[in-house]
Amino acid sequence: MTLRRPFDRVVLITLDGLGIGALPDAAAYGDAGAATLQHVLAACSGLSLPNLAAMGLWEIPGLASHAAQADIRGVFGRLQERAAGKDSTAGHWELAGVVLTEPLPTFPHGFPAEIIDAFREATGYEPLGNVPASGTEVLRLLGEEHCRTGRPIVYTSVDSVFQVAAHEEVMSLAELYRICRIARSLLDPWRIGRVIARPFLGTSSDTFSRTPRRHDFSLAPTAPSLLDHLCDAGLDVVGVGKISDLFAGRGITRAISTRGNEHGQEETLRALEGLSSGLVFTNLIDFDMLYGHRQDPSGFGACLERFDAWLPCLQACLGARDLLLITADHGCDPVGPGTDHTREYVPLLAWHPQMGRGISLGTRASMADVAATVADNFRLPIPAGESFLSLLG
């Protein structure tokens, strides 16, 4: 007799960049002392997250010294990243059960001539830049020259990314996406994690700003993920935000792009309306993109409060056979010495409407435990990790 699965629908939300303390190997990544949430708390007097608190946020190891909560209705813990890296690709793949054993390559001094020459020949454009830089810095330095010449700006970061920036009134989105697709095909042999189209608007270096029409062209996962197993079993997988991009469209039955957190939250609720069984996998990007990278701890804290205020709306849409999982993919400490991602533990919160008293999961050895749990629920092969499904009673 086949056992009935405990949950028909799972909602998995990634709060992009919400780290909760440096991993043991953080110093090797230049991130000793990183603690995204703790530093946001220190910068935001009176930060209030009552709904996350009720799920057990302040009971997680490393956070328990903050605000005690008497009545916990959730399962809580923290996840350690096993993969080599600290970017969205490595983090999301591990959450889906694909653990990178070798880091994706990075280019701290810019891309080699072989890559730039191939890009120039294949696209017909002579790029500007070829430097490691933050998105705001590169627009300030090269945005006006791009507008004068029409040459796309190529840059990278501490992550495995090949980023192409272009003004939407100088180069059409269709053309920007076209040359990024070409770059993606050129860079597959190099194992570069993502090619990112970075459109922007503005009239001068003081007013340039990136628009929501970013698009990621990712390396395909190196092994079948939880998403593939769900699709193979005939279950729906709805990717909200940049999820489909991060998995190169693999294992996704419906992809929904979003303009930011609020839109992503709306689309998550809308996705549930038509879903009878399967997974809604949502990435909420604003924490990372608007506040972590821009070193704005106050904005980060306010963004967390907005998410916390929305949580009851989501919970009200979940029934007895629905499971909510909230986690993150890496850190992005807004008060650290740089503007890049940080190598940190990430939180894990689980909730369903029938949940009783709070249960601690402590520190889990891998973010892939999330994939193992969802796979276990749907009686599917577990790609990696250890399931905590039995603790969700």
Does residue 1 sit within a domain? no
Phi-psi region of 52 (alpha: psi -120 to 50; beta: other; left: phi over 0): alpha
pLDDT, position 356: 81
Tell whether 289 and 153 lie within a shared domain. Answer: no
Tell whether 153 and 34 lie within a shared domain. Answer: no
Tell whether 40 and 91 lie within a shared domain. Answer: yes
Whole-number mean pLDDT of the chain? Answer: 94
The residue-averaged pLDDT of 29-50 equals 94
Q: Beta-carbon neighbour count of residue 296 at 10 Å?
A: 17
Number of H helices, E strands in the chain: 12, 14
Least confident range from 8-17, 35-44, 62-71, 175-184: namely: 62-71
Does residue 2 sit within a domain? no
Does residue 121 sit within a domain? yes
Buried b (16+ CB within 10 A) or exposed e, 76-100: bbbbbbbbebbbbbbbbbbbbbbbb
Tell whether 184 and 333 lie within a shared domain. Answer: no
CATH number reported for the structural domain that contains residue 132 in this entry? 3.30.70.1250
Does residue 108 sit within a domain? no
* pLDDT grade for 145, boundaries at 50, 70 and 90: very high
CA 182 to CA 195: how far, in whole Å? 10
Tell whether 213 and 226 lie within a shared domain. Answer: no
Tell whether 382 and 276 lie within a shared domain. Answer: yes
Domain boundary among 152, 187, 218: 218
Tell whether 13 and 53 lie within a shared domain. Answer: yes
Residues in the chain, how many? 393
Helix (H) or strand (E) holding 283: strand 278-284
CA distances in angstroms from 33 to 64, 88, 345, 393, listed in the order given:
17, 20, 12, 36
The residue-averaged pLDDT of 22-34 equals 96
**pLDDT tens digits for range 176-214:** 999 999 999 999 999 999 999 999 999 999 999 999 899
- If one compares 3 and 14, the residue with the highest pLDDT of the two is 14
Residues whose CB is less than 8 angstroms from the CB of residue 375 and which lie 6 or more positions away in sequence, other chains included: 97, 226, 229, 381, 382, 383, 387
The boundaries of the domain holding residue 202 are 113-218
**Does residue 258 surpass a pLDDT of 60?**
yes
Residue with tokens 């080699």, as numbered in its chain: 112
Does residue 4 sit within a domain? no
Tell whether 267 and 134 lie within a shared domain. Answer: no
**pLDDT tens digits for range 86-115:** 999 999 999 999 999 888 999 999 999 999
The residue-averaged pLDDT of 118-122 equals 98
Tell whether 248 and 336 lie within a shared domain. Answer: yes
CATH number reported for the structural domain that contains residue 356 in this entry? 3.40.720.10
Does residue 164 sit within a domain? yes
* pLDDT grade for 217, boundaries at 50, 70 and 90: very high
Domain boundary among 202, 218, 234: 218
**pLDDT tens digits for range 261-272:** 999 999 999 999
What is the residue-wise DSSP string for 96-148? TT---SSPPP--TT---HHHHHHHHHHH----EEEEE--HHHHHHHHHHHHHH
pLDDT, position 159: 87
Whether pTM > 0.85 for this model: the answer is yes
Helix ranges restricted to H, 188-319: 226-232, 243-246, 261-273, 286, 297-316
Number of domains in the chain: 2
Q: Beta-carbon neighbour count of residue 314 at 10 Å?
A: 21
Residue with tokens 């503005």, as numbered in its chain: 202
The residue-averaged pLDDT of 139-144 equals 97
**pLDDT tens digits for range 267-320:** 999 999 989 999 999 999 999 999 999 999 999 999 999 999 999 999 999 999
Domain boundary among 218, 247, 279: 218
**pLDDT tens digits for range 355-378:** 888 899 999 999 999 999 999 999
Tell whether 230 and 377 lie within a shared domain. Answer: yes
Tell whether 76 and 155 lie within a shared domain. Answer: no
Closest CA to 241 of 329, 343, 132: 329
